[in-house]
Amino acid sequence: QVIVTVNDVPSISGATEVCEGSTLALNTSVPGGSWTSGNTGVATVNATTGVVAGVSSGTATITYTTAAGCTDTYAVTVNGSPVIGGTLSATVGGTSALSVSIDRSTVTGGTWSDNSSHISIDPSTGVVTAASSITGSSQTATVTYTHTTGCEATATFTVYAAPAVTSMATD
């Protein structure tokens, strides 16, 4: 008499992309196993929960192994995080052109936005126009760039009051 044990083959599910510095949760059909990453320089994974953390741009193979030794693999792509550059300030009535890079390479596309009435930003070019007047010597606004991958960057933009001009008449 031969006893044959048939073990369940795991199946991994979840998102396939994550932004650098963010996390995603993977799931499996067979609980009780452990998770590993084939490239911890790109993505790490919690051995018990399956939560993947994006470390740097690239693709990592995530492996799930059941207690019985059955495995499944899953590719996770880590998208680089945008970095906002340029001059993050302007004087009332002035403009400033912002830029964005990912992995030190200039990026085009994506969308710019802001959260303030002190500035307006062109959603496609990143050119910021400071308001015509502000209260006090300066006010700040948050600018956000959203890449086509969904990865975002934010920065603080400062609007400075125009310098006061005074004159003194002398005889």
CA–CA dist 126, 110 (Å, integer): 10
* Pairing outcome for strands 95-102 and 105-106: antiparallel
| pTM, entire model | 0.81
Tell me how crowded residue 121 is: count the other CB atoms within 10 A of its CB: 22
The separation between the first and the last C-alpha atoms of the chain, rounded to the nearest angstrom, is 121
For 116-145, how does the pLDDT look when each residue is reduced to its tens digit (9 = 90+)? 888 999 999 999 999 878 888 899 999 999
* 13 φ, ψ (degrees, to nearest 5): -140, 160
Whose CA is closest to 64, among 40, 18, 31, 39? Answer: 31
For 12-67, how does the pLDDT look when each residue is reduced to its tens digit (9 = 90+)? 999 999 999 999 999 999 999 999 999 999 999 999 999 999 999 999 999 999 99
Q: Which of 49-53, 99-103, 158-162, 163-167 has the highest mean pLDDT?
A: 49-53
